[in-house]
Copies of this chain bind each other. A is one copy, B any other.
Amino acid sequence: MNIAKFVHLSLGKWRSQRSAHHLAFAHYEQVTSNIEIVPLEEDDPEVIEICKSYDIDPSKIVSPFRMSWEGESDWDEEEVSEGTTVLVPVPDTKHPNKGRLLRDRGYAETVSAIGDYEITKDGTFVLITRYDRASAEERIWFATGNLRFRVSTIKTSDGAGVTTASFSSEIRSIGKAKQENS
């Protein structure tokens, strides 16, 4: 599994069930959302802009995509959270299953972020993004062609404490499983 294939399998519309565990308080939060992942051209102006902002040669990128979501939390049913972000993988030239992931805006943050990814032998995409005072880890894998799982954790920057962990089940809501996943 390489990043181009992983992105290809991820394209489409997904219905997500997410449970967050706020560990210090043993609190649960549930978010139901819709996610859409669409491919972008490598010369899309937004993609080029992101490459420039990180000083990355656009010829080194593969499979840029846009991810959009709108969700509803059981904490505040009045508030619908929604957003969109452009993500640009930059594979490592020496280790094709590793690389960097550029994005114009984090899932929760409003700042730019760059993460390091690796796709493990069993097909799990692992992304680590370091911020000033914390780091975020995401693990994403396919159970079937139509079902993705995602575990996200936020750690304090010294690595000692995990403050929040969340689990998402993402079911393809439109389109068939990609044949490549059989």
On A, residues with C-beta under 8 Å from B are 15, 17, 19, 21, 23, 26, 28, 30, 32, 120-122, 126, 143-144, 147, 149, 151, 153, 155, 159-162, 165, 167, 169, 171
A165 to B: closest C-beta gap in Å: 5
A27 to B: closest C-beta gap in Å: 9
Which residues of the other chain, B, contact A19 by a CB distance below 8 angstroms?
19, 21, 28, 30, 167
Which residues of the other chain, B, contact A153 by a CB distance below 8 angstroms?
143, 149
Q: With A and B bound together, what is the CA distance between A43 and B160 in angstroms?
A: 38
Which residues of the other chain, B, contact A160 by a CB distance below 8 angstroms?
144
Given A17-B21, A26-B32, 15 extra CB contacts under 8 A: A15-B26, A17-B23, A17-B26, A21-B167, A21-B169, A23-B147, A23-B169, A23-B171, A120-B121, A143-B155, A143-B162, A144-B160, A149-B153, A149-B165, A151-B167
Which residues of the other chain, B, contact A143 by a CB distance below 8 angstroms?
153, 155, 162, 165
Q: With A and B bound together, what is the CA distance between A26 and B121 in angstroms?
A: 30
A149 to B: closest C-beta gap in Å: 6
Q: With A and B bound together, what is the CA distance between A76 and B23 in angstroms?
A: 23
Which residues of the other chain, B, contact A147 by a CB distance below 8 angstroms?
23, 162
Q: With A and B bound together, what is the CA distance between A145 and B30 in angstroms?
A: 27
Given known pairs A21-B19, A144-B160, A162-B147, the reply for A30 and B28 (CB within 8 Å) is yes
Which interface residue of A30, A120, A151, A167 has the most chain B CB atoms within 10 A? A167
